[in-house]
Amino acid sequence: MGQKQPLNFCLKPDVVTMRIFWCLLGFELFIVFLDVFINYYEWSSVGAIRRMVNITREDSLSNWFSSFQAIVVGAVIWLTAIGVRKQIQGNHDKRKFYCWAGIGSFFIYLGIDDAIKFHERVGTAFKVLLFEDDNTFGVGVLSSIYDVFPSYTWQLVFGPIFVSIGIFLLWFLWKELSSKKLWYWFLAGISLYVVAVGLDFVEGLDDTPYEKIGIAGFFSTDDYRISHMSKVLEEFLEMLGTTIFLIIFLKNIFRMSREWKITIAEKS
């Protein structure tokens, strides 16, 4: 047999990332379309179909896509960590590798969390065990905060952790991203996440908050429609934020090296 010729792939990073962005954005808008028309306006009379495209359900198409996308972001960041490790001479600056690996693991966690609703269920467990179970001590500072906190318990439990991680990400990526423009885009993605959490906070308030502030009456509609469309907007912003993160880290990893070489060695 003759000598096998190597396979060469030529990728243009800007073209690739922009195509990925528009494809993902188009799919996210398609998910919103399916929920609004197939589910809410009942273009399909089949309940199973409506449940599949209902953004508010845990077993929906949107939840699968959101989880998968976050895990892909984590995988890309882990590739960045490996690339950083390869560029480190000896033990110099190993902390960069661990920081990148930690960020990648965090995004993978977010994908798993989104798939199994980990933070919501842990928040509920804290609520039951610490504040509602008669056999536990529901006193002290935590109990006082819980008594005045108006929304979901998970935000009370995980909020400080997520805020701390967000601050670290902004600080670390300001120094490490290959372009300050990418950092500003990351700031935009974080902002979308913050707005999504804000909408979730409003949804967790008691006594039909949308009716209280008069949104339903202003649009001459019912409270359920406003609540559902708010959830649709929340999930869309979260998916779009994750898409922005994916594009940022893809651009960054492409800029780490002008040439990538992958060698597959046959066992001799």
pLDDT at residue 29, as a whole number = 96
Q: Work out the burial of residue 59: count CB atoms within 10 Å of its CB; fewer than 13 is exposed, 13-18 middle, 19 or more buried.
A: exposed
Q: Are 70 and 30 in contact (CB under 8 A)?
A: no
**Inter-CA distances, 123 with 16, 84, 86, 153, 159, Å:** 40, 36, 40, 5, 11
> In one letter, which amino acid is 216?
A
> In one letter, which amino acid is 116?
I
pLDDT at residue 108, as a whole number = 96
What's the predicted TM-score (pTM) here? Answer: 0.85
The token pair at 86 is 């390869």
Task: Please report which confidence band the pLDDT of residue 56 belongs to, taking 50, 70 and 90 as the band edges.
Answer: confident
Q: Work out the burial of residue 218: count CB atoms within 10 Å of its CB; fewer than 13 is exposed, 13-18 middle, 19 or more buried.
A: exposed
Q: Are 39 and 54 in contact (CB under 8 A)?
A: yes
Per residue in 182-218, pLDDT (tens digit) is: 999 999 999 999 999 888 888 877 665 665 555 555 4
Q: Are 189 and 244 in contact (CB under 8 A)?
A: yes
Task: Please report which confidence band the pLDDT of residue 131 belongs to, taking 50, 70 and 90 as the band edges.
Answer: low
pLDDT at residue 230, as a whole number = 84
Distance of CA 16 to the CA centre of its chain: 21
Task: Please report which confidence band the pLDDT of residue 259 belongs to, taking 50, 70 and 90 as the band edges.
Answer: low
Task: Please report which confidence band the pLDDT of residue 4 belongs to, taking 50, 70 and 90 as the band edges.
Answer: low
Per DSSP (E only), the strands in 33-169 are none
C-alpha span between 144 and 86 (Å, rounded) = 50
pLDDT at residue 23, as a whole number = 97
**Inter-CA distances, 27 with 63, 65, 133, 206, 236, Å:** 13, 9, 44, 33, 11
pLDDT at residue 92, as a whole number = 57
DSSP labels, 176-239: HSS-HHHHHHHHHHHHHHHHHHHHHHHHTSSS-HHHHTTHHHHTT--HHHHHHHHHHHHHHHHH
Per residue in 136-156, pLDDT (tens digit) is: 555 556 666 666 666 777 788
The mean pLDDT of the chain is: 82
Which range among 46-50, 93-97, 158-162 shows the weakest confidence by mean pLDDT? 93-97
Distance of CA 40 to the CA centre of its chain: 24
Per residue in 67-97, pLDDT (tens digit) is: 999 999 999 999 999 888 877 765 657 888 8
